Structure 1
């Protein structure tokens, strides 16, 4: 065992090749992690049309009726919208441009009224209202990181898409349905960074042993 150790340290080429590998790993792994963090925004709001419910069911009203201000609704539905601050930092009210509300458009289908608002964080419930165009307005507020706002609204039609107004400053808006695409981009960035590290390690080793 002593002889082997002597051969190891005596072979300067092998020793320095191993040292170069260690040094490359020390530099390369943090660089790979930094590359992944770079594609992960600190400020990001995810939104999702989670589901819709037909209040009269598929088989018709069966004598039941849903009215709003005394007027019957032909196709009453409830839409459930979820907003999640999935970023690494809080979204604060000053990030709402001119303190304008965040507007949620239900694909052109006007909402009639807010049925319920649920808040996953301890604190004042964010103010939610319906404007004259039937769009949902979330007033400027503080949305802590990883907090969630669940909004349910009544409308007189089914809906299958939503969009948000670009009211927030320096905050990335992303529909939850595209999360898998974002995850793929992160994995791709990590694979590319690690591949670069591996290529660099191989180059160092080959350079040392071929001398």
Structure 2
């Protein structure tokens, strides 16, 4: 299984994501620059956190116009796996690949600490190894993580089981404690917390490992290969 970790000017979690793939699933992984125009070799695309283009105008607002994003949209439409983490989540909402938007934290402060999430949907390729209702410790690091959508969109998210994670203790004011969502097909997931920073107990938690092993299992099942434990 081939993984791509996108790199924009200002990305700063790309190395973390690369190392998480190496250490959790041991699959081929490449850094892919934002000017790339071909992602056809990749089965999973990770849009990492950071401050793409300095977060000018609005977080993710410039990155969504990068050449590589047209390829990300094409991959998502083809059913390939896409995950946006923190700034990557912001980019995916700006690009229209996920519903909603991320606003300033209600505290108007940058929040960087451990966060307890509740798994709401374990049917996405990224969450099959979790249990619904399971509490997991995944750190956050953001100033604009306040997830917002209008009432009609919220109703649709609930109807389609698109809310993937909720905060147990909402740190940013997100509507209905939402920490992560997916598209209707379930192959595109966005979340503000950082699973790549929770893959080893030395980091304080290894609850993020199951996200990476889940996606490898989903791909192997899709291709008729044996799953991993």
TM-score between the two structures when normalised by the length of structure 1? 0.27
Structure (1 or 2) with the larger CA radius of gyration: 1
The answer to which structure has the higher helix fraction is 1
Q: Which has the higher contact order (CA 8 A, sep 6+)?
A: 1
Which one has the bigger strand percentage? Answer: 1
